[in-house]
């Protein structure tokens, strides 16, 4: 059974903290452990990108409590499911995963094939925060239905 989920992107300041905040609301009351992290560690300890938090806040979603952190080896034992935002995140996670650890690795948009995309585009560069939030919202809702 999936009881704990970690969302992962590169910086843990745009896509994965957005997924964490949205999924907490969608899964409210189900008792799941939910967190997010980045493969890079470039923004360790930083709050989310203000463009991501502003777009979330416009929709009543609070991201202010989230601080960026890097994925650590223990995450692969702590979490049942690790959800990557794109194919590069998934490759990086596979390279970090300790042999025999329990976490199952998946890509978020595999849960929303109707979007016709395999990766959540990186809004840090593309500045398309509303569109990215919509994608994450839909795919997280679909992911929840599979649990
Ligand atoms: P994220 O976006 O992986 O969705 O958090 C990025 C954030 C920061 C950088 C790249 C992507 N960066 O190059 O600092």
**Closest-lying ligand 1 atom to the alpha carbon of residue 13:** 5
Residue 1 has pLDDT above 90, yes or no: no
* pLDDT tens readout for residues 40-91: 999 999 999 999 999 999 999 999 999 999 999 999 999 999 999 999 999 9
What top-level class would CATH report for the domain 4-146? alpha beta
- Whether the CB of 7 sits within 6 Å of ligand 1: no
The residue whose CA has the least distance to atom 12 of ligand 1 is: 11
Instruction: Over range 13-33, report the average pLDDT.
Output: 97
Question: What confidence tier does 26 reach under pLDDT thresholds 50, 70, 90?
Answer: very high
**Would you say residue 21 has pLDDT above 90?**
yes
Strand-pair partners of 74: none
- Judge if the beta carbon of residue 13 lies within 6 A of ligand 1: yes
Provide the residue ranges of all domains of the chain, joining segments of one domain with +: 4-146
Taking CA atoms only, the protein residue closest to ligand 1 atom 8 is 11
Tell me the DSSP string of 71-118: --TTHHHH-SEEEESSHHHHHHHHHHPPTT---EEEEGGGG-GGG--S
Cα 97 to Cα 30: distance, rounded to the nearest angstrom: 27
pTM of the predicted model over 0.95: yes
The alpha carbon of 113 is separated from its chain's Cα centroid by a whole number of angstroms, namely 17
Active site residue 9: yes
Q: Tell me the per-residue pLDDT of 91-125, one tens digit each, with 9 for 90 and over.
A: 999 999 999 999 999 999 999 999 999 999 999 99
């Amino acid at each position: 059974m999936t009881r704990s989920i970690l969302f992962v992107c590169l910086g843990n300041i745009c896509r994965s903290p957005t997924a964490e905040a949205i999924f907490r609301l969608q899964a409210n009351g189900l008792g799941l452990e939910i967190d997010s992290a980045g493969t890079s560690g470039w923004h360790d300890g930083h709050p989310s990108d203000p463009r991501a938090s502003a777009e979330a806040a416009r929709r009543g979603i609070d991201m202010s409590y989230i601080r960026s952190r890097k994925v650590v080896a223990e995450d692969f034992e702590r979490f049942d499911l690790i959800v990557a935002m794109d194919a590069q995140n998934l490759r990086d996670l596979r390279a970090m995963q300790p042999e025999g650890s329990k976490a199952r690795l998946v890509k978020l948009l595999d849960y929303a094939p109707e979007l016709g995309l395999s990766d959540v585009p990186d809004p840090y560069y593309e500045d398309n925060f509303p569109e990215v939030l919509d994608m994450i919202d839909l795919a997280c809702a679909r992911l929840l239905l599979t649990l």
